[in-house]
């Protein structure tokens, strides 16, 4: 009996591990390709030649970059806290990958159809702050520490705007579950009635992922490379992977919240569409990934005081106004889903 129970437990663990690998390996491959796509897109927008030497059309460039960084010597500052110095990039990558556990790629295609998926996502995005803060503090460098403080302040500030925008979506969907949110957009995508909400939501995820024009922790002229200044080799690769994994993750969450996820409106749905659901979600995710790079190529970096002022004095009052307006309209016209 003990042997049978042990064997069944091991088999269940192996099956769960296989499920995780089936999701994580394509995601890591997408992260690698996202780096070369960004460089090619930036090159096209700036009228120059991007990566085109390593592999056909530069497709293998991210693997060459990863090999170069892995083979570099790992240098640890002598006065740093070595344990936290190593754990910070690992925790940042882990938190960015854990978010994929509840993303529905199609009907029934998810690792965990968690009923409180939105809360899980917000909790993970909040925990991601600690990896950046510990990276800057443990390095014992003023540039890294200032970069981590800037990043932490920006992420905490815009977390409020992000959660406010998601709360408005929840008022329309009536559920914290991602699958239910997708199904509630059968008639119309939420981006149509909530276009102003989508705009300040997208601004908040740009700040949340520390992308241009909100990448103040990586201000080269002031802070060298921000919180990752002292990290090199594999720890730096972890930060790099975590950043691009977060970009793709938030792009897919945006597609779920505002573009109906893997669904099209009922007018376009037929029996053969079920087989294309993952592709549909992937195309919508690519659209928002394109917007991330487009904004980087277009917008200049803000000053740090302007970044905080934009959040607390401009976006927050708008978010609070919509939190009051949207439920008022739902109640007035008796269209609340709850």
Asked whether the beta carbons of 245 and 33 are under 8 A apart, the reply is no
What integer pLDDT is reported at residue 117 of this predicted model?
85
What integer pLDDT is reported at residue 322 of this predicted model?
93
d(CA 294, CA 11): 46
Number of Cβ atoms within 10 Å of the Cβ of 27: 18
pTM summary value? 0.88
**Is residue 135 exposed (0-12), middle (13-18) or buried (19+ Cβ within 10 Å)?**
buried
At a CB cut-off of 8 Å and minimum separation 6, what does 299 contact? 212, 213
The pLDDT profile of the chain, 338 residues, written as one tens digit per residue, is: 456 777 777 877 777 777 777 777 888 888 888 888 899 999 999 888 888 888 888 888 888 888 888 888 777 877 878 888 888 888 888 888 888 888 888 887 887 788 888 999 988 888 888 888 888 888 888 888 888 888 888 888 888 899 999 999 998 888 888 999 998 888 889 999 999 999 999 999 988 887 878 877 666 666 666 777 787 788 888 888 888 889 999 999 999 999 988 887 655 555 555 567 888 888 999 999 999 999 988 888 888 888 888 888 989 999 999 999 998 988 888 886 66
What integer pLDDT is reported at residue 222 of this predicted model?
64
Asked whether the beta carbons of 113 and 177 are under 8 A apart, the reply is yes
What integer pLDDT is reported at residue 105 of this predicted model?
85
> Domain ranges in the chain?
72-332
Cα angle 206, 208, 214 (rounded to 5 degrees) comes to 50
Mark 251-290 as b/e (b = at least 16 C-beta within 10 Å). Answer: bbbbbbbbbbbbbbeeeeeeeeeeeebeebbbebbbebbe
What integer pLDDT is reported at residue 88 of this predicted model?
87
């Amino acid at each position: 009996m003990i042997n049978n129970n042990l064997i069944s437990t091991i088999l269940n663990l192996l099956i769960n591990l296989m499920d995780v690998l089936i999701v994580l390996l394509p995601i890591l491959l997408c992260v690698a390709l996202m780096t070369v796509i960004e460089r090619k897109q930036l090159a096209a927008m700036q009228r120059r030649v991007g990566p085109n030497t390593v592999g056909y059309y530069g497709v293998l460039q991210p693997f060459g970059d990863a090999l170069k960084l892995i083979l570099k010597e790992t240098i640890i500052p002598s006065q740093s806290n070595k344990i936290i110095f190593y754990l910070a990039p690992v925790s940042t990558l882990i938190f960015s990958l854990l978010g994929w556990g509840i993303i529905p790629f199609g009907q029934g295609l998810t690792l965990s159809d968690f009923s409180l998926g939105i809360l899980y996502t917000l909790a993970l995005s909040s925990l991601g702050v600690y990896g950046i803060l510990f990276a800057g503090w443990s390095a014992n460098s003023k540039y890294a520490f200032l970069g981590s403080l800037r990043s932490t302040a920006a992420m905490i500030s815009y977390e409020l705007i992000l959660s406010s925008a998601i709360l408005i979506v929840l008022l329309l969907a009536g559920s914290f579950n991602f699958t239910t949110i997708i199904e509630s957009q059968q008639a119309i995508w939420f981006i149509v009635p909530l276009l102003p909400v989508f705009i300040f939501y997208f601004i908040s995820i740009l700040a949340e992922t520390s992308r241009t024009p909100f990448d103040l922790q990586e201000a080269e002229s002031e802070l060298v490379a921000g919180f990752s200044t002292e990290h090199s080799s594999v720890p730096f690769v972890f930060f790099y992977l975590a950043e691009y994994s977060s970009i793709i993750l938030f792009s897919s969450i945006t597609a779920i919240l505002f573009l109906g996820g893997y669904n099209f409106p009922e007018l376009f749905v037929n029996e053969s569409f079920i087989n294309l659901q993952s592709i549909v979600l992937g195309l919508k995710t690519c659209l928002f990934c394109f917007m991330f790079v487009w904004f980087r190529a277009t917008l200049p970096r803000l000053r740090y005081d302007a970044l905080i002022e934009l959040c607390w004095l401009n976006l927050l009052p708008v978010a609070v106004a919509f939190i009051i307006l949207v439920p008022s309209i739902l109640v007035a016209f008796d269209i609340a889903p709850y």
